[in-house]
Structure formats: C-alpha cells, structure tokens
Chains A and B, each alone.
Chain A
Amino acid sequence: MTEATYPRDYSLIGRDAKRAIGEGLANAQWYAAPIARARLKELMRRSDGPAIRDTLIWIAAFGATAGLAIYLWPSWWSVPFFLVYGILYGSSTDSRWHECGHGTAFKTRWMNDTIYQLACFMIMRAPTIWRWSHTRHHTDTIIVGRDPEISVMRPTVILKLIATYFAIPQTIAAFKHMFIHISGRLTPDEMTYVPEMERARVYLIAHIWLAIHFSVIAISLYLHSWLPVLLVGPLPTMYGAWVHVMTGQTQHGGLAEDVLDHRLNSRTVLMNPVLRFIYWNMNYHVEHHMFPMVPYHKLPKLYEEMKPFCPPANTSLFDAYREIIPAWLKQRKDPSYCIPRQLPEGTMAMICPIATE
C-alpha cells in the first residue's frame, strides 16, 4: 500500500476516496473469526420477545419521566426528570436507530421499521440517508474517503469533539441537510451512497420533519411555554446526547484507519446493565461489525465465542477512555498515530486487501 498523505481527505469524493479504491480498500474482504456455522446460525436466529420487552420498558420510562417533568414544571424538581427523559430521547434512540436499521432487533419487519422511524426523528438522523450511510460504514469501516460515519477526523479538533457530546455539530448538520433535502437535492457525499430510487423518500421525510419541528415551536409560542420544545425536537436531542456520544466514541475512538480487520479499528467495552439497556449492547462492537446479523440480545454470547480470536475487551468505560483521550490528544499533532491492538497469539491481523474470489 502507498503511504497516506496528511491531512487526510475524509470527503467521499476526494483524494482519499480515489486512494481507497485504488488500493483495494473499498468493498474489500475482511477478517472474520472462525465461528462454526451451526453456532452462528443459533446466534443469528431472530425473535421478537427481547426487543418487545425492552421497548415496553423504554416507552414506560419515556411516559414516566415526561409525566413527572411536566407535573413538576416549572419547579427545579423537574430538572432530574428532564435529564433522564433527555437521555432516553437523545441517547437511547441511537441504539434503537442502529439495531432496527439493521433489522435485527425484532423478528417482525414492521416493528423494526416503526421504531427505526421514531428513533431517527428523535436523534435527528434522516432515515433513508442514514440507512445508506450505515450500509457504507459496514462495507468500508473507518476507510478514509469511503466511510461517511467517521466521527473524529484527524488531526483531532478538541473543541469540536467536546461539542459533539451536546450534539451541537450534529444538530446544525441535521437542519442544514433538511433544508438541502427539501429543495430536492442531496449533498455530493450523499449522492455517492444513496441510490436514485431512494431519493424521493429523503425529500418527503425532510418536509414532514420540518413541518413537525415548526409546529412544536408554534405550539410553544401559542402556549407561552417552554414545555413542548423541551420535550420534542432538537433541544432534547441535544441535552440528552451526551450518553450516546460517551458510549459511541468508544466504538472506534483512537483506533486504526484503513485496515480490513475490525479487531484493529473497533473496540469492545464491558459495561453495566443500565448502559447496556440504553445502548442495546453495542458495546460489543467488534462482534457486531464482524457478524452484523446477530441481534443485540445475543451479542454477549457472541462475545464469548469470539474471545479466543480478539484482543482483550476494555474492562470499563473508564478503561476505554484511559486509552482514547491520550490518543485523541496525540492525534492533534500526529494524525498517523493509532492505538495498537494486541491480537491473540496465533491469529494474524488483516491489514491489506487480498485477492477476492
């Protein structure tokens, strides 16, 4: 492979996009742990039960926190309930968007699609755009110039990174894109991964979402109350984002770019049951990327199966950030730096393209 040129060009139509294709990094064959087909089939098997149970708890938590926040408003006692409501609205929706987008959370398609649309609205991710961007993310994970979901570009800009924990750049981008979409256009990057036949749906949803956002603002003005905008729209997306960014940045933070092995560019972090409920087990991220057909509720079992072939998991969020933060700081000056991963003895890293059949 030729040496990468710094700073990297993260756009999907620029220098590094051409380099990725030229080097065989696009649509390449990736390392997969040798899990027996029969066992994998068991793990891939779908069911509605766990996701229905979790969704009922989720809806009840929404109802309880919103109800108490409204009841106690405008007292300061409402603040803790808004904070929890915000985490449900602006953070737990990240994993619902993700799992239902893969179609693996529920066995029943319409259930996945319904929760997907709802979660997309709350986290302000255009459903069609993000379905396709995530498809590309799985094809070309952290391949510069190909993956539209690289969240921390190098050299690291620390202030911007901090702002992501409050969803500031994400929300600005979401509105900017909504206005582009209602004019019947996509961005040049989006045009590289959203097929022609899907584009009308993008424009339609942008119209519907903007209508909802303006309606909520109008209701707030009419009622002379902050309540509607604190409960629906960009504000809860922002004040509740920090948990999903905190967990989400451990997925790939500080790890290698341009490798064809998820063990080198993704991270599994052990987390407590509350975070795993909010995050729907996406802390098992190496496992998810290697076998995206395994539903979230089976990922702990897949983790056990894959252990012999993977680097040791980070033992906690604290443990993960202890290596991520120094790496981000180092990548401000040295964008070629990445955290090295120690693979188990006897397993080879896959860093270069191999001839595909």
Chain B
Amino acid sequence: MTQWIKVCAQGDVANEDVMRFDHAGRTFAIYRSPSNKYYATDGLCTHEKVHLADGLVMDHIIECPKHNGRFDYTSGAAKGAPVCVNLKTYPVKVETGIVFINID
C-alpha cells in the first residue's frame, strides 16, 4: 500500500529553494520550483554524499554545495561532471497546504 509521509507545510520551503527532510534513517531533499511545484529526491549527492539541501536551486537544477555538480531535480538526471550517477526521485503531493512524499 502506498504510504505518504508528511514533510512540511507548503510555506516551509521558499520559492526556488530546497530543504532537508530526514525520515526513518534516510535523508531527502524537498524542492519548490519557481513555478511553485514541489519535488523530492534523495538528500545526498551521488558523487560524494553531500547534503543537497545546502546547495543552490536554479530553475529546475539543484547544484551540490561541495563540487558544484548539477542535477535536474524534476527527473533526477545528472547534468555532467563531477556527477555521473542520477538522483533517485520520489512522488510528491500537496494537500490542504501540507507537502507529502511517497518513499515506498
């Protein structure tokens, strides 16, 4: 059965920004795009396990704070060196002002 996990209130993530969300020993990154849509990926860069929540969101790109590796957070696609492995993404929904992710 699909399990939706409550993450935060809609306003907790600034527009065109990212926040960290830890749950059950795992860490995730929750994004709010400039068009006000929410996305979720694994929280650590696939290159050297740095928290992406400390990085910079530019349009649909998240840039890792340590080595400037870039991912498309809407698809998880790695956008070139030094990141070579895609990020895992997770479904997100917003209901009554609350952001949920499905991490099954």
Contacts and interface: CB of A to CB of B under 8 A. Distances in A.
* Same complex: yes
Contact of B65 (A131, A139, A292): A292
Contact residues on A (Cβ < 8 Å of other chain), bracket? 20 to 34
B84 interface: yes
A131 B66 contact: no
Contacts of A293: 55-56, 63, 65, 68
B56 A197 contact: no
Contact residues on B (Cβ < 8 Å of other chain), bracket? 10 to 19
Contacts of B67: 135, 138-139, 292
B48 interface: yes
Contacts, number: 42
Per DSSP, chain B at the interface is loop
Nearest to B81: A131
Contacts of A132: 81-82
A104 interface: yes
B49 interface: yes
B17 interface: yes
A291 interface: yes
Contacts of A128: 81
A330 B34 CA distance: 55
28 contacts: A27-B48, A41-B17, A44-B56, A46-B58, A103-B70, A104-B68, A107-B58, A131-B81, A132-B81, A135-B82, A138-B66, A138-B67, A139-B48, A139-B67, A195-B84, A197-B84, A198-B81, A198-B84, A291-B65, A292-B65, A292-B66, A292-B67, A292-B68, A293-B56, A293-B63, A293-B65, A293-B68, A357-B27
- Closest 7 pairs (CB-CB, A-B): A44-B56, A135-B82, A103-B68, A135-B67, A102-B68, A293-B65, A293-B56
